[in-house]
């Protein structure tokens, strides 16, 4: 997973505070927790930081794309094996004769399904990590052989 130090290495490291944070490291942490976006650092817009800006945007974008549950799917790592689809307890409960039986989902109530060889997420509000009564379910994470799913 992308870490604060990895992000920090691409920042200007001037601690100029123009982003509203006291240090570049604090800004790196804010990027990681989705409290800031790359564009909040005006220094990165300078020509000499162009490569840093582009690389940062690339490595931070999965964080920004995390669903409400904090779920990130690294599509480039997904092999479409379907392990997570049949392991998700919500999928099993909502689709007992499809995902629950180890098969392709048969309805739209599932959270995880494989389409075109890549896992897709929907109905994230039903994920057991979501909402007031959330629990730290990790069915999809532990069954993924390639670490394509993570939560931040
Ligand atoms: S504006 Fe950019 S260079 Fe200045 S402290 Fe924030 S992250 Fe560092
Ligand atoms: S965390 Fe649990 S409920 Fe949420 S998608 Fe993964 S397996 Fe399903
Ligand atoms: S996310 Fe992981 S477990 Fe799910 S289909 Fe992709 S490779 Fe398989």
* Residue range 79-130, pLDDT digits in tens: 999 999 999 999 999 999 999 999 999 999 999 999 999 999 888 888 888 7
Task: Based on the fold, state whether residues 77 and 113 are members of the same structural domain.
Answer: yes
Ligand 1 atom nearest 44 alpha carbon = 2
* Residue range 23-54, pLDDT digits in tens: 999 999 888 777 788 999 999 999 999 999 99
**Structural domain that includes position 147:** 71-151
Q: Specify the number of domains making up the chain.
A: 2
18, pLDDT greater than 80: yes
Task: Based on the fold, state whether residues 144 and 75 are members of the same structural domain.
Answer: yes
Task: Say how many Å lie between the CA of residue 70 and the centre of ligand 1.
Answer: 25
Domain boundary among 64, 89, 110: 64
Domain boundary among 13, 45, 64: 64
Task: Based on the fold, state whether residues 147 and 108 are members of the same structural domain.
Answer: yes
Ligand 1 atom nearest 17 alpha carbon = 5
> 149 has which bridge partners?
73
6, pLDDT greater than 90: no
Domain boundary among 32, 64, 96: 64
Residue among 66, 84, 90 to mutate when testing ligand 2 (max atoms within 8 A of CB): 90
Task: Based on the fold, state whether residues 94 and 42 are members of the same structural domain.
Answer: no
1, pLDDT greater than 60: no
């Amino acid at each position: 997973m992308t870490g604060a130090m990895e992000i920090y290495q691409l920042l200007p490291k001037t601690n100029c505070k123009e982003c509203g944070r006291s240090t570049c490291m604090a800004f790196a942490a804010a990027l990681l927790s989705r409290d800031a976006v790359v564009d909040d650092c005006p220094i990165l817009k300078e020509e000499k930081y162009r490569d840093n800006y582009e690389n940062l945007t690339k490595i931070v974008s999965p964080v920004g794309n995390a669903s409400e549950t904090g779920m990130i799917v690294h599509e480039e790592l997904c092999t479409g094996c379907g392990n997570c689809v049949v392991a998700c307890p919500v999928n099993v409960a909502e689709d007992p004769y499809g995902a629950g039986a180890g098969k392709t989902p048969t309805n739209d109530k599932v959270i995880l399904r494989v389409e075109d060889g890549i896992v897709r997420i929907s109905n994230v509000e039903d994920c057991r990590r979501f909402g007031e009564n959330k629990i730290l379910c990790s069915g999809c994470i532990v069954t993924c052989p390639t670490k394509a799913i993570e939560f931040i």
